[in-house]
Amino acid sequence: MNPQRTPADLLALLQADAAFDRLLRAARALGLRHWCLAAGAVRNRAWDAWYGAGAEGFSDLDVDLVHFDPALPCEADARLQAQLQQSCPGPHWDVVNQAHVHRWFRCSEGRSIPANRSLTEALGTWPETATAVGVRLERDDRLSWVAPLGLTDLLMSQLRANPRCPDPHAFTHRLRDKRWLDRWPRLGFPPPR
């Protein structure tokens, strides 16, 4: 059984992480209105701190910066990514404007999904609940959350498929490809909600 963690535990962990603070400050310097660092940038930090990195061969060199701005063209993400690589080298930055994900999905998957109306709505469709958590550094240096599916599964180290994900096979594929159970063998699978 995994110990009961609280949002305050996660907040304290992230606030004490100088490398994470550096990433947040680089992202904030872009001046985007609606943004956060999300996915493995948050989940991996928490689970590695609480359970160790597990088996060898895992890397946290990818940092997902997601944002929402329908007025920015799709091509702007490449420019933003290059800016981050220059201002904060080391990790591989992956910048995605969630306002345009429906276009990518149509081209990549050959299916249409509705356009997201906000960053929160976009994260709410990600494949697993524990990954759909983002953190943002506010102007006053406070950390704020974007967690449309809540923090419970991240805090309890639970792997749960998100029924709102447009790709019903994404969770199973990611579970296999990302090898989370090799890295963190103490992860659990809660009963469906």
The string of pLDDT tens digits covering residues 83-107 is: 999 999 999 999 999 999 866 654 5
**2 domain residue, yes or no:** no
**192 domain residue, yes or no:** no
**188 domain residue, yes or no:** no
pLDDT of residue 156: 94
**70 domain residue, yes or no:** yes
CA-closest candidate to residue 61, choices 83, 78, 80, 85: 85
**165 domain residue, yes or no:** yes
**161 domain residue, yes or no:** yes
Does 190 have pLDDT greater than 90?
no
- Mean pLDDT (the chain) is 89
pLDDT of residue 57: 47
Q: Give the total number of structural domains in the chain.
A: 1
Report whether 113 contacts 166 (CB < 8 A). Answer: yes
* SS3 state at 64: strand
* SS3 state at 23: helix
pLDDT of residue 107: 52
Residue 25's CB is within 10 A of a number of other CB atoms, namely 13
**88 domain residue, yes or no:** yes
**189 domain residue, yes or no:** no
pTM tops 0.85? yes
Q: Which domain holds residue 101?
A: 7-183
